[in-house]
Amino acid sequence: MKPDATRERMLLYHLPADSEKGRLVRQAAGTLKIHAEDLREDQLNQTVGHLAGLHGFEPDSRSAPVEPVQEELMLLSGLSDEKINQLLGLLRKSGAAPIGLMAVVTEHNRSWRLSDLMAELMHERRIMAAWFSLKRSVKAAESLQDAGHFASAEPFKADAFEAALAVGRTILNAQEPPELESIQAADTALKAFLQQRG
């Protein structure tokens, strides 16, 4: 098949047509006239650009096979922001959302291997989950602070609580999230104080 960079594509991995979610996803694509294609495990070592049919991206027969990834993926190519929003609305309305991993083909990721893109998406998902957990912990800690729970504690414990809360706030207010381990460490530190007061 000749590459067509302008074609609107939805590339699906681990969302088979004979599953309920796979059927609903394809139905949404059909409603918006988006071409849906299945990706196979043996394509994980191919570039995103090649899989999306972009000009200049040839199949790579030299790459070593990679371990199968047991995740759902919906990869979109050639869609406008408006059409992506329409698609997401249809997926939510049909009950097909959420989908494990979702991405759009970009200038940045089109030369990546599909397995590398999926690994990055899974890492970003872990960071976001840790960030939201820390956000809940900071909110709970601020409630304790407002209620004066640590005001009467030993100075060392009160200082440690204030320091842990300050670290959590700093991470949440950062322009770019720090490494996953830093977020998790800050969350763990605050949770230790919350458990003492739980």
What 3 state SS string does 127-139 have? Answer: HHHHHHHHHHHHH
Sign of torsion, CA 102 103 109 111? positive
Residue 172: which H helix or E strand, with range?
helix 155-173
Q: What is the mean pLDDT of the chain?
A: 90
Per-residue pLDDT, 3: 45
What digits encode the pLDDT tens for the residues 31-63? 999 999 999 999 999 999 999 999 999 988 777
Tell me the whole-structure pTM to 2 decimals.
0.82
The CA distance from 141 to 146, in Å, is 9
Residue 153, pLDDT above cutoff 70: no
